[in-house]
Structure 1
Amino acid sequence: SLKFSLYGTCLHFLLTVALLDINEAAAERPLQALEQQFGAEKTIFLKCDVESEEQIRAAFKKTVETFGGIDILCNNAGILNETSWEKTISINLMGVIRGTYVALEQMNRLSGGRGGVIVNTASMAGIGPFLSCPSYTASKFGVVGFTRAMAAASEASGYGVRFNAVCPGFVQTDLMTNIPVRLGQFSNLTAAAHQLVDVMGMVAVSDVAAAALELLTDNTKNGEALLVLQSGNMYMQFPSFNPTQNKPL
């Protein structure tokens, strides 16, 4: 399913949440859970396709009208389908960029926003390549790179918005079903893909949620890529560059 979740918070206490998804049925269960815990007036669902800037813009506008602003954005839409690499890039990477740029119109302190934090869902495949999923790997490498670049741009420009990426290992979601069909021309590598799952193990959804929450609430985290594995989490170290000399530090 394609998920795109938008959260509005204040002082790190959950006050309001807007769930955006192209699949209304898939959003029903989390919507009901949030309504039961926090009240129906605290949550809304808005149908939205992350491949459409028009729909994203309309959904964000409705969110601001309903809850008064945007403080947190979680870009979480994603597919794994090597038979449709263009759609994979469009949803996994371009959807993140579309959502981020539209949200910044509301969040950027330079344009009157309150600042906030954006967490993008990348993947372990955004840290090290998956041989069976080249386009998926490219999309997730792109998410990590975009997140880190935006974090640096925000800090240098004074946007008041932090950017982080959560990079889960293998999680039991829809992306893990019917793998041979999803691999397309690389289906001959299905056994290698399953072997990697066996070696790395599966990560609980709750562990991914906890990692995302850490990135949301820790004000010292900006430009981080947090790898979430069964064996434990780790913040990835990347080379940095001197902006004046354009040389690795």
Structure 2
Amino acid sequence: MALNGKTAVVTGAAMGIGRSIAELLLQNGAKVVFEIRYSCASHFEVLRLNTFFFPAINETVIPVVSQAAFQKTVETFGGIDILVNNAGIFNEITWEKTIGINLGGCIRGSYLVIEHMNKLTGGRGGVIINVASMAGKLMYLHLNRPFHPLIESRAAASVASGYGIRMNALCPGFVQTDLFSSIKSKLGQFSNLAGANQELIEKLGVLTLAEVVEGFLELVTDETKNGEALLVLPKEKKYATFSASPTD
């Protein structure tokens, strides 16, 4: 998929991975709708980014993971080609909120956007990228086998249904972001594991945003990638491949 002229929706684009992905899409000629939610600082950064790259989108200051937001995007740009489910937090203290955003937001966004991307109902098809983490690939790391049922099942269902929508997951290790910097203060009842977590960080290393975005670009542009999870670590990239063919 060439990015020039495509319309992308990116959740959690105020900072970190989401912002870097949004910048990459814009630099490659895509039209990008950003999610605008959290702190005032985040709002300022997104608005500044929008103003620089795409002034007209400033009026669309509504939560992206809603039917109204997707409908507004379609009305403005004629369709949606890419959804990046990136919004996420880490907080063991407010775990219900964490699950609601990290898992619920991802599922909700995917279900809603399918209505607009589905080729059977007039959509243009496209690709959904879920930004996950290496934590979801631990079975792959330890057993050397692919295991990502959410992406695999959705990708297979999309192929079997003829929707024309690819679905992949980007699973980076530790990334130098604000979220990464605040891990220790958000462990809650698991604060005793801070030392073990630090050992893992020292063992695996920390990714730059550029390394993560490189993996995203591969997943979004390579149309042979469907139902796959790309594990990105400082020294290597690994695919946990699942064939999305309905005949398998």
For normalisation by structure 2, the TM-score amounts to 0.79
Residue 47 of structure 1 pairs with residue 68 of structure 2:
no
Partner of 2:220: 216
SS class of match (2:68):
helix
* Structure 2 residues without counterparts, runs of 5 or longer: 1-10, 140-146
**Equivalent-residue separation in structure 1 for 2:114 and 2:164 (angstroms):** 10
Deviation of the 1:125 alpha carbon: 0.5
Which has the larger share of strand?
Answer: 1
TM-score by length of 1: 0.79
Amino acid at match of 2:48: Q
Structure 1, unpaired ranges of 5+ = 51-55, 130-141
Which residue pairs with 1:138 in the alignment?
none
Matches within 5 A, 1:1-249: 3=12, 14-23=29-38, 25-33=41-49, 35-36=51-52, 38-41=53-56, 46-48=61-63, 50=65, 56-128=66-138, 144-237=148-241
Q: Determine if contact 2:160/2:245 at 8 Å carries over to the other structure.
A: no
- Per the alignment, in what secondary structure is the counterpart of residue 58 of structure 1? helix
- Which amino acid counterpart does residue 198 of structure 1 have in structure 2? E
C-alpha displacement at 1:40, in angstroms? 2.3
Deviation, 1:68, is 1.3
Percent identical pairs in the alignment equals: 50
Q: Secondary structure at the match of 2:89?
A: coil
- Following superposition, the deviation at residue 31 of structure 1 comes to 4.5
8 Å CA contact 1:34–1:43 kept in 2: the answer is yes
d(CA) in 2 for partners of 1:180, 1:35? 35
- Alpha-carbon distance between aligned partners in 2 of 1:62 and 1:99, rounded to the nearest angstrom: 14
For the residues of structure 1 that align with 2:130 and 2:239, how far apart are their CA atoms? Answer: 15
Provide closer, same or farther for how the CA distance between residues 49 and 104 of structure 1 changes in structure 2, counting only shifts above 3 A.
closer
- Secondary structure of 1:222's aligned partner: coil
Report the Cα distance in structure 2 between the residues aligned to 1:157 and 1:118, rounded to whole angstroms: 16
By how many angstroms is 1:47 displaced?
Answer: 3.4
CA distance in structure 1 between the aligned counterparts of 2:219 and 2:165, rounded to whole angstroms: 12
Structure 1 residue 43: Cα displacement: 7.0
CA deviation digits over 1:105-161, x for unaligned, max 9? 1001111111000000010001017xxxxxxxxxxxx9x432221111111110100
Paired letter, 1:119: I
Is the contact between residue 76 and residue 120 of structure 1 (CA under 8 Å) also seen in structure 2?
yes
Q: Secondary structure at the match of 2:199?
A: helix
Which structure has more relative contact order (CA 8 Å, sep 6+)? It is: 2
Give the Cα separation in 1 of the matches to 2:130 and 2:43: 19
Contact 1:18 1:43 in 2 (8 A): no
Alpha-carbon offset, residue 46 of structure 1: 2.8
Q: What secondary structure sits across from 2:197 in the alignment?
A: helix
Distance 1:77 1:182 in 2: 17
Distance 1:173 1:44, change over 3 A: farther
Q: Tell me by how many angstroms 1:237 deviates.
A: 4.4
Large movers: runs of 4+ above 4 Å: 4-7, 42-45, 240-244
